[in-house]
């Protein structure tokens, strides 16, 4: 009986020790969990900048040459020479090809000879007319003879005018044997080789010459932006247009808006516009597809954030704003146009506020955050203001500012 009581007392002691150990272990786990739950969440932060923001509309366009000329023969003959290289830059008046001129030179010489013969006939007819007029006045010949001779002089005069017209035509035809460029431009691929017989009725050109400087871009915009474009034109200031590559960021050239088409396409609801580019580096090429970015105004003292700040959820668009105690709040915002990785915010933020740029996945209102050292230096930089803080190239998504 004493032995049984001894065993019971030992078991109770072991049970008590186990209970104490379990309580200690459980309390330790709760403390570690609480500490992990309350640990600051690492995030990337940025500031709300204030600056003058250009407002853009962006459309898809095609580069078109102002002048494209099919160089064709205007007379029939053998092609004696081709005087250009494919892809050569040519000036207006530069010789491109030569057609055998000998038949046309012979025709000109014949017309000149006919003129000389008729001029001699006219000279003799005038002398006879003078004699008939003199004898008729003295009664030695009839007045009819003098009138007939006057008619002969007049008809010979008309014949000489016809000869001069024939000479001019022969000279024009002879001039057509030398084919020159009518514009400044660049030659394309040669279509006809030396030695071939060419005709004025041929449909295949010898070569195509295309003007590259200046050059135009025809682009389309939704009809809804017409009032904004019209208002910008009404200021009288030339509207800048940038031609962007297909990636939407690489700028190919800067130009100015030249015209807005006088009709809206009813099938697509779009408006056609034309911009002129000097194209000094020839980065724009006829037939190329580009994104045309038209500046229609400027938002003065606009609020700008990194585009990654803008978040979208079931309740709309929002951003996480960092409070002075390094906790965050979820704040509803109204974003405007997006350009170059930055977004114009029209409502919901104030200049110089700190916002979360990256690391939003674990955040909720009231979460404590830890701003990473590399971002603290960026936060200490002054806010840019004024027109000198120009944004980078716009992306094609910037079709309209809010």
Q: What is the mean pLDDT of the chain?
A: 84
Rounded average pLDDT over 166-174: 96
Q: What is the pLDDT of residue 126?
A: 85
Least reliable range by pLDDT among 73-77, 121-125, 301-305 = 121-125
In degrees, rounded to 5, the angle at the alpha carbon of residue 254 between the alpha carbons of residues 252 and 258 is 125
Q: What is the CA radius of gyration of the chain?
A: 44
The backbone torsions φ and ψ at residue 74, rounded to the nearest 5 degrees and listed phi first, read -110, -5
> Are 345 and 335 contacting, i.e. CB atoms less than 8 angstroms apart?
yes
Q: What is the pLDDT of residue 373?
A: 55
Looking at residue 226, its pLDDT comes to 94
pLDDT in tens, 192-215: 999 999 999 999 999 999 999 999
Measured between its terminal Cα atoms, the distance across the chain in Å is: 92
Residue 23 pLDDT = 57
Q: Is pLDDT at 296 greater than 60 in this prediction? A: yes
95-124 pLDDT tens trace: 999 999 999 999 999 999 999 998 998 888
Q: Residue 220: what pLDDT?
A: 96
Q: What is the DSSP letter of 183?
A: S
Q: Is the per-residue pLDDT at 396 higher than 60?
A: no
Q: For 126-132, what is the mean pLDDT? A: 79
- More confidently predicted of 110 and 136: 110
Q: What are phi and psi of 227, to 5 degrees?
A: -60, -40
pLDDT class for 146, splitting at 50, 70, 90?
confident
Q: What is the phi/psi pair of residue 6, to 5°?
A: -65, -40
Return the SS3 of 366. Answer: coil
Spatial distance between the Cα atoms of 62 and 129, rounded to a whole number of angstroms: 72
- Per-residue pLDDT, averaged over 260-267, amounts to 94
Residue 176 has pLDDT above 90, yes or no: yes
Residue with tokens 């909720």: 364
Confidence of residue 31 (pLDDT cuts 50, 70, 90): very low
Strand partners, 306: 342
DSSP-based three-state secondary structure for 189:
coil
- Was domain 47-64+213-379 assigned CATH 2.40.30.170? yes
Predicted local distance difference test score (pLDDT) of residue 10 = 56
pLDDT at 9 over 60: no
Q: What is the mean pLDDT of residues 69-94?
A: 95
315: confidence class by pLDDT, cuts 50, 70, 90: confident
DSSP alpha helix (H) spans, 177-258: 226-234
Assess if CATH 2.40.50.100 describes domain 69-96+181-208. yes
Domain boundaries, the chain: 47-64+213-379, 69-96+181-208, 101-176
Mean pLDDT computed over 163-168: 95
Q: Is pLDDT of 393 > 80?
A: no
- Distance from C-alpha of 216 to C-alpha of 261, rounded to nearest angstrom: 14
Give the 3-state secondary structure of residue 76.
coil
- 3 pLDDT more than 50: no
User: pLDDT tier at 338 (50, 70, 90 boundaries)?
Assistant: confident
pLDDT beyond 90 at 399:
no
pLDDT for the residue 28: 47
- Determine the topology of domain 101-176 in CATH: Helix Hairpins (1.10.287)
Q: Which of 35-44, 146-155, 368-377, 378-387 has the lowest mean pLDDT?
A: 378-387
- Contact criterion met (CB below 8 Å) for 132 and 149: yes
- Token pair in block for residue 281: 């580096």
In percent, how much of the chain has pLDDT > 90?
Answer: 59
- The 8 Å CB, 24+ separation contacts for 312-321 are 318/348, 319/345, 319/348, 319/349, 319/355, 319/356, 320/355, 320/356, 320/360, 320/363, 321/349, 321/353, 321/354, 321/355, 321/356
Instruction: Quote the DSSP letter at residue 166.
Output: H
Rounded mean pLDDT of 8-37? 52
């Amino acid at each position: 009986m004493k032995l049984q009581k001894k065993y019971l007392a030992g078991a109770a002691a072991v049970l008590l020790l186990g209970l104490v150990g379990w309580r200690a272990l459980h309390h330790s786990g709760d403390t570690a969990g609480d500490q992990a739950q309350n640990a600051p969440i690492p995030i990337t932060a940025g500031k709300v900048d204030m600056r003058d923001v250009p407002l853009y509309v962006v459309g898809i366009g095609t580069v078109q040459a102002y002048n494209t000329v099919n160089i064709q023969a205007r007379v029939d003959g053998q092609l004696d020479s081709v005087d250009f290289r494919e892809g050569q830059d040519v000036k207006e008046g530069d010789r491109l090809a030569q057609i055998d001129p000998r038949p046309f030179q012979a025709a000109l010489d014949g017309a000149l000879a006919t003129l000389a013969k008729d001029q001699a006939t006219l000279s003799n007819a005038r002398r006879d007319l003078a004699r008939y007029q003199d004898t008729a006045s003295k009664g030695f010949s009839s007045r009819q003879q003098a009138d007939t001779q006057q008619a002969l002089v007049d008809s010979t005069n008309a014949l000489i005018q016809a000869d001069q017209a024939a000479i001019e035509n022969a000279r024009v035809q002879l001039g057509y044997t030398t084919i020159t460029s009518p514009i400044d431009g660049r030659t394309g691929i040669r279509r006809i080789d030396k030695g071939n017989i060419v005709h004025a009725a041929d449909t295949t050109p010898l070569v195509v010459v295309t003007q590259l400087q200046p050059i135009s871009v025809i682009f389309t915009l939704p009809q809804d932006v017409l009032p904004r474009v019209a208002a910008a034109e009404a200021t009288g200031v030339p509207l800048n247009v940038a031609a962007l590559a297909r990636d939407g960021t690489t700028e190919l050239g800067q130009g100015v808006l030249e015209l807005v088409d006088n009709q809206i396409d009813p099938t697509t609801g779009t408006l056609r516009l034309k911009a002129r580019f000097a194209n000094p580096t020839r980065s724009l090429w006829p037939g190329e597809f580009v994104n045309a970015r038209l500046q229609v105004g400027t938002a003065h003292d606009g609020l700008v954030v990194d585009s990654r700040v803008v978040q979208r959820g079931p309740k709309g668009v929002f951003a996480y704003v960092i409070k002075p105690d390094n906790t965050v709040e979820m704040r509803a915002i109204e974003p405007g146009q997006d350009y170059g990785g930055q977004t114009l915010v029209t409502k919901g933020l104030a200049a110089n506020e700190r916002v979360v740029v990256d690391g939003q996945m674990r955040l909720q209102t009231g979460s404590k955050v830890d701003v990473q050292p590399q971002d603290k230096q960026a936060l200490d930089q002054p806010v840019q203001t004024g027109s000198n803080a120009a944004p980078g190239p716009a992306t094609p998504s910037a079709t309209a500012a809010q």
